[in-house]
Structure 1
């Protein structure tokens, strides 16, 4: 034996002697019992610790009885419901018997015997999982707990999740009967395609209702519950068929189906009749969408759940006015869409030779995807241009006419009608509160209102002459009109009626751009940014339709601003009033006399100017006033009309402001937006929803000699107009202290949205002739850049750069009375 091993033997012998007592040790019975009892005790202790972290009894009661919030119109009609998911609750008695039979036989055949957990099934699932074959083992009650409280319980395959699931299942079993649990389960389980519950699933996959489901249809739907995507009968029909037959076999095994029936049924095809179920939009979907955001914040502050507490929200929307607004937008939208389709389908309009079309192709997701995959920009663009289906879809998307309309009561600020687009399903973007577009000439009343507030009179004159305004950076702004300047004096009322750009540009210089912007904000344009530049007077700063209609409501309300209101009260499910919303006190932001003078001038727009289609086309004889507006290249058409009881306004255009109707006639506000407003008011007046006899009430003149002085002043101005030499403009009025800017609206700010490309104020190589009754005039100097207007352009002479505007009156006529 080697010496090394000889030296180790004594050490090994000593170690053996020390371990001898341990070999003789045997565990006692108490030790064995403690060892066996320790894991269950620890598990029980951990379970007790988890109980406070599971849904409470009150939460389970609320989940079982949750009711969506209901939004009602002012006359009690349902406008919308706010609920967690798209489903319709049906009682267990109204479900076909094969539904519950298939569910219990497949998912939990001892459902009526256990108290939330099936211990045998749980133990079998655990042994199978340890053996490498993962199984769930959850009962229907456990699945319901997971479906009702996904965040509190979780879905991770952990011991903690299973324990929370079991605890919640025991609570559910203590509270409700087996049939109530089964009914709740079948009404809350998801089935893909935004279909929750057996009723929506029956409609989606078989175009029937839950009470008419056959054995095969029931087995197909119940079979999906093991994996809705994997066993989707629309995308994976073979898997769904196999799973359906498995469910039928389980029904035979549990005595729910005869064997001979199974043999006959398993050979039949699926026969899916699929139709995705769209959520009901209601008559005012854009209004409901914007209101939801405000209500969520209100409910959070007050401790309510908007989707479960059964709140009843009473709004200011009038269901009749809303219906007429929907019809007016739909009718005019169809007509304008025909115009757009005809214009953009012409040869060369939508082709590779159009620089705008080339840009749109390069901005498309398909182009970016092709370049990302390795194609050169030229190859990607060429391939897309050659793809007829792509080009057709791009044209339909980009040239889809859009519109917005809103109406409110000027005396209260209550919103009565709201249409955010032509079709909420096609375009959920809200063109009332979200979209910001250039208002064009509809912004001019703020300029004249500021002037009247500073003491200017409607008969005060400015000379219609070429205007040059120096801007920072050495630029020169030269606003002009469709016709050349006449060189004569023109009253402010006439200038507003015929929307003279040269007069408005001079007036804003005398009044002050800052004062105009301040007045616009005070009157209702409170969320959009206004650029303090001279061109603001001609409507170059984008604003929302809601802001403009609210501001015109201030004019109709004799200069008193009221913020828009859309909710009158909120009740709980028992009808108890939780909060009432009284009208906010009016703020006098424009002097009454100035507001009345401005309102009277806007009457002239309807009686004589570009808004006269309200009288001639729609036959409205009520006391109304309004203003049209059109931006450069007819990108945006506007019209706002004021009645003593209601103010309504419409915008028409495209989501991409680079797209237009390609028509100098149809693109103007008097032809695109005015018909929507005229149609709406015509219906409201005919039905007596508005009183045609009501007139604006002007404050009485306090000075006895005031009317006489005004008449003499008018005669004097008319006499000056007959003098050949142009009369000098009146001296500038003293500028009073700035108008105070009222506090912000008590409503939430509109959501941030990607900015829409504004309609640029660009040059136009067109010259518009004057109306036939007007003497010819010298053309406008080249290089004049002005905003667009509303009057049709019957003829064009190339080579002279001007921009259109609203004025259509004779150049040499006297100021309007």
Structure 2
């Protein structure tokens, strides 16, 4: 039976019962009505908010979010509100409130029966008026869902019962304080303190009688009496409040006429919450924490939870500063490339027209009857419109994230250049093509199948059939040399043709599976040959997580935001850690780390050494996508993996520079500056080294043992006396200047070259260094499908 059918049957039953009772009712029977009413009230009591809920509502204890080193990152409040005590609120606010909303507030116990009866009589006579006390209004404001919003007897009874409970639990001052701190005032301002700041740019304790009357007057109808949009109505309502204050003895009558003539004098400014040290991280954490709290019966806004996160406030500050510095440098380049403010349409007419056609103003003109040409001409001539449009489209964006590969703990997270200007999170939300930073998955899959860094492919034109009659022809920034190129050189110099041939031998399915196992687990990967050059969009968080797997000897650890959650008394409610999962064999991973060192030592990432003076054992990869739309760089250290992305929100916009558009020049400086500072401050250890010694296999181990046994058993040479071993010759290490990157390989060496497996020792950061860094070998700009 449906709800409507049930209501119809109930209505019919009540009608029949009333028709039967009517002739049988006598005056004595009317005494049953109060009893029935009392029974109904008793039935409603269990359906009203409980005492525990009321106590929780008053004691507002938002979750506090702390960094790993004990710094407060954020507080999760349900609304934009700052709680102030009653002593911190102007007495004139309280006088205006009581005179206007509840003049017998200190005499009743939750319900003013005289006012309620009077309001009922006036309502029956056609003049509808409210009779709710402040306590009833507080109950309605705090528990709108439990009490309801409909104008019914049941709702009023629930409201009255809750008001009685509040009066039993709180003192009058506590009720006033709670009411004034929870009542809404539009513009996301809750409570008298935020209202005072929003409309008068002062604290609640500084409000004068006119300002107090204006804000209290809004309570009758926030929108209708909005002093910003409806100043005349707000002025009239303010004067009514002043009259009420005179009527009930809160204001001298002699002052009323003069006060009524005074203007509103609104000083309006929307209040915004402080973004905090890691606003994008906090934004992501709030979603996770709400889900955890729901599953474990906690409230993040009132239970006083203390959340210990993985963020290191020192690293977070370094990352924020590095990204802001590089972002400002690139913005000046973008402004020049796009003709300055308002010049995007002149720099690229077709693209400028496309931007205009995507605006609401253009659609409004077309709806009004204008044709395409007229709409474009009209909006193109509007200098203010074009300036705003071009500034938004050509604003450089960037993102950065760093994590500890040993445990997956995220140490720094910067989602955009300015959270207040662009709250969109480019770390976890934006999906962009990763370009050549995806290539390590191809090389890792090859090493896992037995390939060696010294294996070669001929640098030649490549044509790979994909679907139907389509042919994929990857290119580099230089023509094919026809010479063999080793896998080590292929990744060091980011050779697309070498990587494409390696992808063909390994297979796209194997590469996609490895990428997912290593950390790219949320984005869809197209299983096609061009995946080798990063054509499937992914997030920066996924890529840095996958590089963390490489730095962790091939074991994937899910990125971790929180280490533990405590209650307000310090008791631990939950602890968190991520279990490692084997994604790539140890031997293959160590080969991959070793060849990725060469990206930094002599390949496309040499600026890490030459410009930023990083002398630690690091490995990494640059990445650039088609037309330089995206610049990437990810750097691995045994204790920290950091990655950055640079681009624009609209991928059709680029820096329009083959130099600055490359990841080696756009994203690398962010990571380089960050890593340099983190090493100098000793947050990570400059002496930490990757273990790239290959682990011998089962048969190799036993063969070595057999050879040792044979040599020890059948050798006839006497062992040297320990007494004669008085000196040991120290090995001499050949030195190679790190500031001299090798030229790109164009000829095959006659003999396999010998590569170092450890980074060269560079001067300490404080020592003298060349002021002009040599340019890094150019990374191939065409990293996507041609």
Q: Which bin holds the TM-score, normalised by the shorter protein? A: 0.7 to 0.9
- Which of 44, 51, 63 aligns to 2:38? It is 44
Say yes or no: does 1:391 pair with 2:386.
Answer: yes
Match of 1:487 in 2: 482
2:459 aligned partner:
464
Q: Which residue of 1 aligns with 2:778?
A: 791
Deviations 1:196-243 (A, max 9, x none): 111111111111111222222211111111111111111222222222
Instruction: Encode CA deviations 1:140-178: one digit per residue, 9 max, x unaligned.
Output: 000000000011112222222211111110111111111
Q: Tell me the distance in 1 between the aligned counterparts of 2:779 and 2:486.
A: 24
Contact 1:639 1:649 in 2 (8 A): yes
CA contact (8 A) 1:459 1:491 kept: yes
Taking the aligned partners of 2:506 and 2:416, their CA distance within structure 1 comes to: 37
Residue deviations 1:28-79 (CA, integer Å, cap 9, x gap):
9x943544x4554443333233222211122111111231111111111111
1:254 is aligned to 2:254: no
Give the 5 Å matches for 1:24-103. Answer: 31-35=26-30, 37-103=31-97
How far did 1:386 drift? 2.6
1:610 to 1:722, Cα distance in 2 relative to 1, 3 A: closer
Do the aligned partners of 2:559 and 2:578 also contact (CA within 8 Å) in 1? no
Q: Quick check: 1:665–1:792 contact (8 Å CA) kept in 2?
A: no
Match of 2:661 in 1: 667
Q: Specify the alignment match of 1:685 in structure 2.
A: 679
Q: Following the alignment from structure 2 to structure 1, what is the Cα–Cα distance between the partners of residues 679 and 400?
A: 17
Task: Identify the residue that residue 188 of structure 2 maps to in structure 1.
Answer: 194
Matching residue within 645, 648, 654 for 2:642: 648
| Aligned equivalent of 1:580, options 550, 575, 579 | 575
Cα deviation, residue 371, structure 1: 2.4
2:299 to 287, 290, 305: 305
Corresponding residue of 1:523: 518
CA distance in 1, matches of 2:260, 2:181: 27
1:318 aligns with 2:305: no
Q: Which runs of 5+ in 2 are unaligned?
A: 1-22, 705-744, 753-773
Coordinate RMSD, CA, aligned: 2.4
What's the CA shift for 1:245? 1.8
Equivalent residues, number: 694
Extract unaligned runs of 5+ from structure 1.
1-26, 707-717, 728-772, 774-788, 794-802, 807-817
CA contact under 8 A between 1:352 and 1:385: conserved in structure 2?
A: no
- Which TM-score applies when normalising by structure 2? 0.85
Q: For residue 365 of structure 1, what is the aligned residue in structure 2?
A: 360
Deviation per CA, 1:664-714, whole angstroms, max 9, x where unpaired?
A: 1111101111111111111111211122122222346546999xxxxxxxx
Aligned match of 1:510? 505
1:64-104: CA deviation from partner (whole Å, max 9, x where unpaired):
12311111111111111112111111111121211111111
In the alignment, what sits opposite 2:491?
496
**Residue 602 of structure 1 aligns with which residue?**
596
CA distance in 1 between counterparts of 2:387 and 2:26 reads: 82
**2 CA distance for matches of 1:71 and 1:348?**
43
Q: Give the structure-1-normalised TM-score.
A: 0.82
- Aligned-pair CA distance for 1:615: 1.2
CA contact (8 A) 1:410 1:647 kept: yes
8 Å Cα contact 2:436/2:533 also seen in 1: yes
In structure 2, how many angstroms separate the alpha carbons of the residues matched to 1:58 and 1:550? 43
- 1:4-49 Cα deviation digits (max 9, x unpaired): xxxxxxxxxxxxxxxxxxxxxxx99x943544x4554443333233
Deviation at 1:447, TM superposition (A): 0.7
SS in 2 for 1:474: coil
Whether the 8 Å CA contact 1:287–1:418 is kept in 2: the answer is yes
Q: Kindly indicate whether the alpha-carbon contact (under 8 Å) linking 2:407 and 2:557 is maintained by their aligned counterparts in 1.
A: yes
The residue matched to 2:563 in structure 1 has which SS? strand
1:104-139 residue CA offsets vs partner (Å, 9 max, x unmatched):
111111000001010111111111111111111110
Q: Identify the residue that residue 427 of structure 2 maps to in structure 1.
A: 432
* Structure 1 residues 500 and 221: CA distance shift in structure 2, 3 A: same
Conservation of the 8 A alpha-carbon contact between 2:280 and 2:419: yes
CA distance in 1, matches of 2:325, 2:333: 13
Q: Which residue in the other structure is 2:741 paired with?
A: none
Which region of structure 1 is more displaced relative to structure 2, 327-336 or 490-499? 327-336
Could you tell me how far 1:348 is from its partner in structure 2? 7.4
1:172 partnered with 2:166: yes
Q: How far apart in 1 are the matches of 2:262 and 2:674?
A: 55
Q: CA deviation at 1:551?
A: 0.6
1:348 and 1:197 map into 2 onto residues whose CA distance is 45
Q: What is the CA distance between 1:640 and its match in structure 2?
A: 0.2
Would the aligned equivalents of 1:592 and 1:699 in 2 still touch at CA under 8 Å? Answer: no
Counterpart in 2 of 1:417?
412
Q: Deviations over 1:462-520 (max 9, x none)?
A: 11111111222111111121111111111110111001111111111111111111111
- Is the Cα–Cα contact under 8 Å of residues 670 and 790 in structure 1 kept in the other structure? no
Deviations 1:616-665 (A, max 9, x none): 11111111111100000000000000111100000011111111111111
Number of the residue aligned with 1:565 = 560
Match of 1:442 among 437, 440, 450: 437
Pick closer, same or farther for the CA change 1:248–1:601 going to 2, 3 Å: same
User: Quick one: which of 376, 379, 382 aligns to 1:381?
Assistant: 376
